[in-house]
Amino acid sequence: MNERLQHVSQDRLINETNIREILIEMVTKWEFILILLFLGVIIFFSNASPYFLDYFNMMNTTFNFMEKAIMALPMIFAIMCGDIDISIASTLALSSFGMGLASSMGAGTPEIVIIGLSIGIVAGVFNGLLVTGLKIPAIAVTLGSQSLFRGISQAFLEDKAFTKYPESFGYFGQGYVGDSLIPFELVLFLVLAVIMGFLLHKTAYGRKVYAIGNSSTAARFSGVSVNRIRFTNLVLNGLFAGIAAVLLTSRIGSTRPNIAVGWDMEAITLVVLGGVSIIGGKGNIFGVIIAVFLLGYLKFGMGLLNFSAKSMIITTGFLLIAAVLIPEMLNTVKAKRKLRKQQG
């Protein structure tokens, strides 16, 4: 009888230990911390302003950050592989310029959209060929193409702007799904996030991305076509910049020389804040999605309370530093704990 009670007691102790380990593992994940921060933002601003937790406002404010969020999705793949694309905002500007030029020459909505996406793809192919064909680091290539793409649109536009687009073109950046108050941009982002999440987490392509990020040399010896994956990632960045160009140009109804200036850094900020390691190999789509809504609604709430633009920049910088430091600190604590457990 005593022996049986002893076994039951040991089983209970093992179960309690396992549950404690699972809880510790869960609460020390960066995504869990992001969820807490997001809930904190919602609670704080809903108490601070009666206009924050309004359904119409909550939906409409997503127009302000969905284009950047869409640009961030393929950036996850590039950064996971140890690359980066800082030319995406300039690609957007070039695509917008192409669409504006086509519209001024009488093109309809389908042609304008195709031109915008095609320019994005061509820009991505341009970057991809230079990075993988000539073995030039992605940051150097995209730094150059950032100036090149922006320079082309500015040289042709000078201080002018394209402001005439077909009425039906406005739906992409201003429309709602059916009779609801759900913006088309928000639905498009969620659909693209599901597709990219499936690609990263459930396919061989995604596993190769992780493998390259952890060690491109080891991945190459394992038979992974490293250059092909990196090339595809950069083309995807171009394509998604083209999609963002369609949405943004449609939303504001014009193409100007300074369109989307600085958006490349904001898209990269979303990726890093979402927990994707800047040196590659670690991260997931879920963290970036939380980061998108956390930062979007944080800025919305700060705007309602008349915080200055400088305050928003400082807060974003603080969150970004926290996103880099805290996961590293948690990993260090976990490693030490695991070592102590093995020694004990």
- The per-residue pLDDT for 335 is 77
- The per-residue pLDDT for 322 is 80
Does CATH place domain 64-305+312-321 in 1.10.3470?
A: yes
- The per-residue pLDDT for 15 is 72
- In terms of Cβ atoms closer than 10 Å to its own Cβ (0-12, 13-18, 19+), residue 16 is exposed
φ, ψ (nearest 5 deg) of residue 124: -65, -40
pTM: 0.90
- The per-residue pLDDT for 255 is 94
pLDDT digits (tens, 9 = 90+) for 133-178: 999 999 999 999 999 999 999 999 888 899 999 999 999 999 999 9
Domain coordinates of the chain in residue numbers?
64-305+312-321
- pLDDT (tens, 9 = 90+) of the chain, 344 residues, equals 566 666 666 677 667 767 777 777 777 788 898 999 999 999 999 999 999 999 999 999 999 999 999 999 999 999 999 999 999 999 999 999 999 999 999 999 999 999 999 999 999 999 999 999 999 999 999 999 999 999 999 999 888 899 999 999 999 999 999 999 999 999 999 999 999 999 999 999 999 999 999 999 999 999 999 999 999 999 999 999 999 999 999 999 999 989 999 899 999 999 999 989 888 888 899 999 999 999 999 999 999 999 888 888 888 788 878 877 887 787 787 777 777 777 76
